[in-house]
């Protein structure tokens, strides 16, 4: 009896200690041999498991990029499916190392929730999906509508603000899971479904009659989506951020997963520096990684353009144009600080 109690207490103490000692996430990740990323419960194009449990999407590729940078192996990434409501406690508690789950960067999440955001891997904005039969042409005609929305999202708050600002009435129908909100909309419980525009296109594919639904022209919010990490761990924050910057810089330099080996030896000095082929370079080791980290990210996962085209681009069912997500020198917002 005494022994069981004592061992229980020791067990509890170890558990407590384990969750307390997570300041050096990079060391923890290296020690356990894989990186744990928070993913969605299924948003096509962003993070979506297929029927074999294989994940795909641009958020998934971000996570694989981190695994490639740390281990030189994109397969050393594990995904935890999280609802919008569970994602923040999962990161706070250390269940996941980084949240790569179409999460909007806001000041309160940056501060009071205790997270850090820096890179934006997808610039999005909130829109509305309605049934064609309602003959609605603008969101301003939606007064009195029932709106399906997922709880615990910025979407839910933007919705309240937008309808209030425009003096419109509405009846919110709130679900915890995206799938439940979708099926309620499909069953006619709501007139309108609202989420980020990328999500609307993805979700429309899942409806019974996708062509009977249209996305309204209004974009009512800014939704910069990017990865979040816990505050107070600058090294890990840097690793996560520079994986994205490496992908964007690679696109700018024209480095792809196909030509990266060639570029490593034949590219200009800035290309060679980025790929870790510069005499006496310390960029990788200063990040806490190896000097071929960026090479691994591009070789094994691809540059930003490849990731975008593969998951959400015009040749995928989602058919999303680059738009705001084009490079800064092509009229978009994707801009990466130099690697030097």
Partner 1 sequence: MAGNALPSEKPTSSGSSSLLYDPKARGIFYQVLTVAILGLFVWIIVNNTITNLNRANIASGFDFLKGRAGFDIGQTLIDYSSDSTYGRALLVGLLNTLEVAIIGIITASIIGFIVGIARLSSNWLIAKLAQIYVEIFRNIPPLLVIFFWYKGVIAILPQARASLALPFGTYLNNRGLFFPKPLWGGGAWLILVALVVAIVLSLVIRRWARLRQEKTGQQYPSGLTALLLIIGLPLVTFLALGAPLSFEYPVAGKFNLTGGSVVGPEFISLYLALSFYTASFIAEIVRAGIKAVAKGQTEAASALGLRGNMTTRLIVIPQALRIIIPPLTSQYLNLTKNSSLAVAVGFADVVAVGGTMLNQTGQAVEIVTLWLVIYLSLSVSTAVLMNWFNSKMALVER
- Let me know: does 324 contact 332? Beta carbons within 8 Å: yes
What's the angle, vertex CA 299, arms to CA 293 and CA 301, rounded to 5? Answer: 90
- Binders of partner 1 in range 260-319 (CB under 8 A): none
Q: How many residues bind partner 1 (CB under 8 A)?
A: 54
The reply on whether position 125 binds partner 1 by CB under 8 A is no
**Which stretch of DSSP H or E encloses residue 306?**
helix 304-311
Q: Does 156 bind partner 1 (CB under 8 A)?
A: yes
Beta partners for residue 39, in sequence order: 81
CB atoms within 10 A of CB 117: 22
Please state the closest distance from residue 246 (CB atom) to partner 1, in A: 28
Per-residue x/- track, 23-42, partner 1 (CB under 8 A): x-------------------
Task: Report phi then psi at 62, rounded to 5.
Answer: -60, -50
The binder of partner 1 chosen from 132, 137, 138, 171 (CB under 8 A): 171
Among 41, 76, 95, 113, binds partner 1 (CB under 8 A): 113
Which whole-number Å values give the CA distances from 29 to 34, 168, 239, in the listed order? Answer: 6, 49, 12
Among 16, 217, 269, 331, binds partner 1 (CB under 8 A): 16
Cβ-based nearer residue to partner 1, 180 or 238: 180
Candidates 12-20, 44-52, 203-211, 271-279; binding stretch for partner 1 (CB under 8 A)? 12-20
- Out of 3, 20, 53, 107, the residue judged to bind partner 1 by CB under 8 A: 20
Cβ proximity to partner 1, 179 vs 215, nearer residue:
179
Q: With contact defined as beta carbons under 8 Å apart, do 154 and 106 qualify?
A: yes
What does residue 39 show for φ and ψ, rounded to 5 degrees? -120, 175
Task: Output the smallest distance, CB 252 to partner 1, in A.
Answer: 35
Residue 324, helix vs strand vs coil:
helix
The residue count for the chain: 340
Label the pairing between strands 126-131 and 192-196. Answer: antiparallel
User: What tokens were used for 175?
Assistant: 């679900």
The contact set with partner 1 (CB under 8 A) reads 1-2, 5-6, 8-9, 12-13, 16-17, 19-20, 23, 84-85, 88-89, 92, 108, 111-114, 134, 143-146, 151-152, 156-157, 159-161, 163-164, 170-176, 180, 183-184, 187-189, 191, 230-232
């Amino acid at each position: 009896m005494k022994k069981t109690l004592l061992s229980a207490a020791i067990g509890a103490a170890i558990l407590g200690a384990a969750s307390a000692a997570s300041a050096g996430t990079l060391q923890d990740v290296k020690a356990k041999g894989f990186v744990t990323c928070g993913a969605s419960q299924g948003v096509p194009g962003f993070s979506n498991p297929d029927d074999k449990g294989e994940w795909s999407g641009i958020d998934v590729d971000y996570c694989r990029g981190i695994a490639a940078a740390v281990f030189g192996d994109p397969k050393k990434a594990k995904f935890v499916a999280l609802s919008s409501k569970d994602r923040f406690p999962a990161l706070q508690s250390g269940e996941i190392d980084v949240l790569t789950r179409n999460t909007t960067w806001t000041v309160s999440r940056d501060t009071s929730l205790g997270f850090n955001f820096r890179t934006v891997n997808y610039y999005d904005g909130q829109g509305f999906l309605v049934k064609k039969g309602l003959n609605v042409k603008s969101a301003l005609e939606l007064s009195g509508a029932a709106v399906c929305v997922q709880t615990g999202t910025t979407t839910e708050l933007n919705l309240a603000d937008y309808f209030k600002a425009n003096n419109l009435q509405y009846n919110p129908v709130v679900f915890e899971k995206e799938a439940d909100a979708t099926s309620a909309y499909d069953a006619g419980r709501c007139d309108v479904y609202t989420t980020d525009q990328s999500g609307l296109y993805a979700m429309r594919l899942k409806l019974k009659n996708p062509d009977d639904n249209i996305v309204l022209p209004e974009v009512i919010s800014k939704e910069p989506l990017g990865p979040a990490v816990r505050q107070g761990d600058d090294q890990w924050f840097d690793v996560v951020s520079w994986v994205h910057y490496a992908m964007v810089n690679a696109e700018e330099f024209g480095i792809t997963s196909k030509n990266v080996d060639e570029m490593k030896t034949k590219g200009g000095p800035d290309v060679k520096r980025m790929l870790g082929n510069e005499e006496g370079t310390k960029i990788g080791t200063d990040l806490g990684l190896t000097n071929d980290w960026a090479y691994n990210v591009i070789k094994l996962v691809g540059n930003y353009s490849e990731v975008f085209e593969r998951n959400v681009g015009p040749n995928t069912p989602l058919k999303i144009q680059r738009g705001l997500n084009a490079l800064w020198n092509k009229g978009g917002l994707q801009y990466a600080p130099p690697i030097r």
